[in-house]
Amino acid sequence: MPAINYKAAVLYVLIGCLALFLIFYHLGERPMWGDELTTALLSVNIIKFGLPKVSDGKNSITYMGEGIDSDKYGNGTWTAWLAEYVTEVSFKLFGQTTAAARLPFAIIGFICVALMAFVVWRIYGSHEISLMSMLFLTTSEVFILHVRQCRYYSLIVAAEIVFIWGVYVLLKGRRQAGTALLAAALTVQFYSNYIVIAGSIVALCVLLATIYRRYDGVLRGGAAAFIIFSALSMPWILYARPWRQAGHTGNENIVEKVVYYLWEMNFHIVALIIFLVPLIYQLIKPHDEQRVRQPADDVQLYLWILIPSVAATVSLAPGVFLRYLLPLLPASLILQSVILKRCLGRGACGRVVRVALVLVLCLTNFAAYYPFYPIKLLDPSNVPFKIHSPGLSLPTLIRATYTPYSDRPGDVIKFLKKEGAEGQSVLTSDSGMSLIFYNGMRIINSSTESLENLKELPDWIFTESAAVLPKRQPPMYPSKEIAALYTPITLRVHASRKCGAIPEPDMHESFSSQDWEDLLVFRKKATGKNTEK
């Protein structure tokens, strides 16, 4: 039995404690934003109806309109239902709160940290590589922001770590276990967001085509995993027919999207300059004797193949979202750890250099920013993508985690909890999902229903959106005749950034806005009966 490495054990515990804090502290403080609320509200409807209905009889939860992102029975089909059923279980156990909505995904996020350490240790047998991988994942801003959401994001990261583990197990000759792990990982990703699975499949096919002569049974194992996954995913494909949705999404330039994804990967996942280190190392290192290639080396080859595979395949998918790069998080951070360990010297001197670089990579974004700084000297019209500002990313993330936060939606929610009542109607220029979940109100969306055409006037009229939208709409004022039936109220709210609770680091609002703005609201006067036009 190997001796316990107490120093490594202490470091594992310390990193785990940091992960616990960053993932769980103030988890339920921020109100959920649109995508989270979609998951949460569909989960509420699962509790009511047994299935994720887009309508509860009072409100509809739809992006594209019923019949496009739902079937003829009113069940949501825009995405598969794994995240919704996970949330539904949490709601049954802990109640329908923000913290309960996010809790299962935060738990899975913490499991990702522990699983990362375990898988890397089993593959490489090095506590240093394992600890670095675990630390890089824990201190990743994009990872922490995404796993603190009531959304499928942490499921995708966990499944990708399991997929990497399955590749290693398959190469070690445990064909049944490897096949099961690969099939399970692909199935979880498919029922979370099927857009992200193509990169893993392509990378695995390229790897197996490259190495199959060195390993007995790997082609059969890979083929069996794909067959099992296909069988498990086919029910959703036949039921939801996801290809119908393609015509209702954007059509962007694929080449620009590939460049954009690599650009954002550099600033938010791993500094691409780190990937140049092995090339330099090959030029300056003494030539060692040829050694026998190990399964860990071919797992590493899979990780190298995965990066361009994911960047290319998600660029074919509609939309441009950093979340589609989440499968690259474990792969990139494992590669970064292996590079630092194997290419930056041995002994005490090499360890000092690695520790210094690890601190720079964990605490700052300097390694991503400064290599691209010369581009800022060019004419801005020649720079197609934003160059992010240098900063202390981890200290900012820690401070944002423990600092109380307030925003415009939260101010509106608190106001209506005090002044409104569940079941009242609200006219607003957005879907109003936050008011549905937090206030139990009936929402009338002014973008689809005109105030003048309503048979019954709403209890509340918001002249501007209660949410924080990417594009601000012009105020919507009622006519003088209608306004006479209401009491105007000026509500002071935080001048929050657009989509401040979104996990995209470039859009996420880390701290409460110090600026305030006025939001004009009309409350219907009490008449003893409903006011009809």
Q: Rounded mean pLDDT of 325-333?
A: 95
Q: What are phi and psi of 234, to 5 degrees?
A: -60, -40
Distance from the Cα of residue 209 to its chain's centroid? 32
166: exposed, middle or buried (C-beta count within 10 Å: 0-12, 13-18, 19+)? buried
Contact 254, 316 (CB under 8 A): yes
The answer to which of 148-152, 224-228, 235-239, 331-335 has the lowest mean pLDDT is: 235-239
At 329, the pLDDT band (50, 70, 90 cuts) reads: very high
Considering the chain, what percentage of its residues have pLDDT values greater than 90? 65
Q: What is the pLDDT of residue 218?
A: 94
Nearest to 337 by CA among 319, 364, 355, 314: 355
| 75 bridge partner residues | 53
Q: Which two tokens stand for residue 108?
A: 């899975």
Q: Which two tokens stand for residue 215?
A: 């390993």
How far, in Å, CA of 416 to CA of 121, rounded? 52
At 232, the pLDDT band (50, 70, 90 cuts) reads: very high
Q: Rounded mean pLDDT of 63-87?
A: 84
Rg (C-alpha) for the chain, rounded Å, is 25
- CB-based contacts of 290: which residues, under 8 Å, 6+ apart? none
Q: Rounded mean pLDDT of 168-177?
A: 95
Q: Side chain identity at 200, as an amino acid letter? A: S
How far, in Å, CA of 68 to CA of 78, rounded? 8
Nearest to 444 by CA among 518, 456, 64: 456
At 286, the pLDDT band (50, 70, 90 cuts) reads: low
Parallel/antiparallel/unpaired status of strands 516-524 and 486-494: antiparallel
Q: What is the pLDDT of residue 281?
A: 76
Q: Rounded mean pLDDT of 185-191?
A: 97
How far, in Å, CA of 196 to CA of 427, rounded? 37
Q: Which two tokens stand for residue 487?
A: 């009491």
Phi-psi region of 286 (alpha: psi -120 to 50; beta: other; left: phi over 0): beta
At 376, the pLDDT band (50, 70, 90 cuts) reads: low
Contact 333, 140 (CB under 8 A): yes
At 522, the pLDDT band (50, 70, 90 cuts) reads: very high
* Per-residue model confidence as pLDDT tens digits over 413-469: 999 999 999 999 999 988 889 999 999 999 998 877 778 788 889 999 999 888 877
Place of tokens 């399970």: 184
Nearest to 105 by CA among 51, 163, 159, 63: 159
CA distances from 345 to 54, 162, 488 (A): 58, 31, 70
Contact 509, 407 (CB under 8 A): yes
- CB-based contacts of 272: which residues, under 8 Å, 6+ apart? 262, 265, 266, 368, 371
Output the CA torsion sign for 474, 475, 478, 479. negative
How far, in Å, CA of 296 to CA of 40, rounded? 40
Distance from the Cα of residue 319 to its chain's centroid? 14
At 388, the pLDDT band (50, 70, 90 cuts) reads: confident
Entry field: residues in the chain: 533
Contact 159, 108 (CB under 8 A): no
Higher pLDDT, 376 or 466: 466
At 291, the pLDDT band (50, 70, 90 cuts) reads: low
Torsion of CA 249, 254, 260, 262, to 10 degrees: 120
**Mean predicted lDDT score pLDDT of the chain:** 89
Phi-psi region of 319 (alpha: psi -120 to 50; beta: other; left: phi over 0): left
How far, in Å, CA of 467 to CA of 30, rounded? 13
CA distances from 373 to 271, 379, 388, 424, 499 (A): 13, 13, 10, 53, 28
For the cut 90, the answer to whether the pLDDT of residue 298 exceeds it is: yes
Nearest to 368 by CA among 268, 275, 278, 276: 268
DSSP, collapsed to helix, strand or coil, labels residue 200 as helix
3-state SS string over 400-418? Answer: HHHCCCCCHHHHHHHHHHH
Torsion of CA 357, 307, 39, 73, to 10 degrees: 180
Q: Rounded mean pLDDT of 290-319?
A: 88
List, in sequence order, the alpha helices (H) in 285-346: 295-316, 328-343
How far, in Å, CA of 437 to CA of 497, rounded? 21
How far, in Å, CA of 380 to CA of 401, rounded? 34
For the cut 70, the answer to whether the pLDDT of residue 412 exceeds it is: yes
At 289, the pLDDT band (50, 70, 90 cuts) reads: low
Parallel/antiparallel/unpaired status of strands 486-494 and 442-445: unpaired
Nearest to 494 by CA among 512, 507, 511: 512
- CB-based contacts of 276: which residues, under 8 Å, 6+ apart? none
